[in-house]
Chains A and B, each alone.
Chain A
Amino acid sequence: MRAIAIAVLWGLTLVPAPAFMAFAAAQAAEPGRTPLPAIAIEKPGQCVEPKDVMRRDHMKLLKHQRDKTLHQGIRTKPHSLNECISCHASQKTGSVTGAGGFCQSCHDYAAVKLDCWDCHQPKPGQKTAAGVKP
């Protein structure tokens, strides 16, 4: 009796597993089923760090730079937020935020809230008589 029960349990667990794996593989391979972030790089060229470093560690670089800038007055360009913005702002909207914006598209995808723009200007700016002109 006990042996039968174990056999049934094995059957229940083992049989569906390969079937499910095949289904999942088919789903992943099918294009369009998985939403992906739209990363539009409008200005070709080399970023300040390799792509995989930037994707994984850009927040660490930015945080390190922000503390050095604010507390020590170190205003080097490579890891500064303003330099990121000036290169990555969309040529259409002039911003890194908004639908399809360089920062926002990935952050929406990863569901990581961005509060940089509560204070920072997401558009590269040039000061004019009327204030900041995007």
Chain B
Amino acid sequence: MSGDMNRRGFIAAGAALAGLTLAPGIRLIEIASAKPDNEPVTSKVRWGLLIDTTRCQSGCTECVAACGKENGLGEVKKPRTDAQWIRKIDLKELKTGRAVSLPMMCQHCANPPCVDVCPTGASFKRADGIVLVDRHICIGCRYCMMACPYKARSFVHEPHSDQNPEVPRGQGCVEGCTLCVHRVDRGGAPACVEACAAAGHNAMLFGDLNDPESAIAKRIREVKTTQVRADLKLDLGVRYEGI
């Protein structure tokens, strides 16, 4: 209990520090008021992520490492089969030579194709917009992996025994970025966002898209942001700036 409070305090302190580095009124991490433990999440909140590719550094993998540590993924030794919740991608426009680097993960669609194709109902979207896999129901058929346009889902091929108690995961199920739902439910921010801020890049902004006063909502109102493959009309929770 006290450890939890300390962590909350740490997050709030980190958010306050991050607030100094950005423009006034724009906080890097929205200090979300934690909902009471016994209340269900509602659709009043829509969690989202804004990634500023102009700040994201090529070669930096702090977010990937933090994700692996938080969720017990470990290091990616076999990239073809090991679970990858975030992939760092470098893009280059051939004509102009302009290069950007960005993290690509589950985009937490409002209309997720993975949920459409799931034959068992294991792939689902929570009321607050976070797309998850219920491993109790997942049969490991991997239709969702094929349906996802963002290569965001991974199949767990091997047994695991070193899970984080808050992030159960095991062989035979499909999984993907949970937006660190266990942290979000306690009023925290995803591990990748904290790691990016701690590394001094501040390229990731997490918050409630439905709250017009939140930092992320203000930011996407002010600057042009992009949904990757917007033509698919999936209404993404993750947006990119500068691509």
Chain A residues at the B interface, C-beta cutoff of 8 Å:
66, 68, 70-77, 82, 85, 118-121, 123-127, 131-132
Contacts and interface: CB of A to CB of B under 8 A. Distances in A.
Ranked 5 nearest A-B pairs via Cβ: A119-B170, A72-B40, A73-B41, A119-B168, A125-B165
A36 to B, nearest CB: 29
Contacts of A77: 37
Tell me the interface secondary structure of chain B in the complex.
Answer: loop
A125 B69 CA distance: 14
B76 to A, nearest CB: 15
Given A66-B136, A119-B163, A75 B185 contact: yes
20 contacts: A66-B136, A68-B40, A70-B132, A70-B134, A70-B136, A71-B134, A73-B181, A74-B38, A75-B185, A75-B186, A82-B166, A118-B171, A120-B168, A121-B164, A121-B165, A123-B165, A125-B164, A125-B165, A127-B70, A132-B164
A11 to B, nearest CB: 57
B37 A75 contact: yes
B128 interface: yes
B35 A73 contact: yes
B88 interface: no
Contacts of A68: 40
Given A72-B126, A74-B40, 4 more contacts: A73-B128, A77-B37, A121-B164, A132-B165
